[in-house]
Structure 1
Amino acid sequence: NTSKNATNSYFVQVPHAIMKNGVEVITTHSIHNSLHSVGGIQMLLPLFSQIDMAKEENIEEEI
């Protein structure tokens, strides 16, 4: 079976894909792991309190 051998040349008997030229690895993480990476929800809560704050505009005179 030449077609079977040609097909098998693209696959390996391990759970990892063969990396071809131009292929990039993409890793996904859960929300839980992402929050843990930045220090937990305690690090994000102060940012939420700033959402409703008035925007401070920097007014400078043109010379």
Structure 2
Amino acid sequence: MNSWIFLFLAAILSGFALIEVPLAGTFLASLAPFTTVVGVLTVLVFSLVLIYKGVKYLFNK
């Protein structure tokens, strides 16, 4: 198995962590919309990469 897949999965998990990070009541509260957008983009991009690699693997065999 390709070891890059685990890196992509870790990136997806870190995207979910950015979406759910509680910033209310801290000095970083103004960054909450930015972290949510970055988290959503991270999850989407790396999920699409995993789907692409999976489909590519299926059709190459």
Question: What TM-score does the superposition give when structure 2 sets the normalisation length?
Answer: 0.24
The structure carrying a bigger helix percent of its residues is 2
- RCO higher in structure (CA 8 A, sep ≥6): 2
Q: Which is greater in Rg?
A: 1
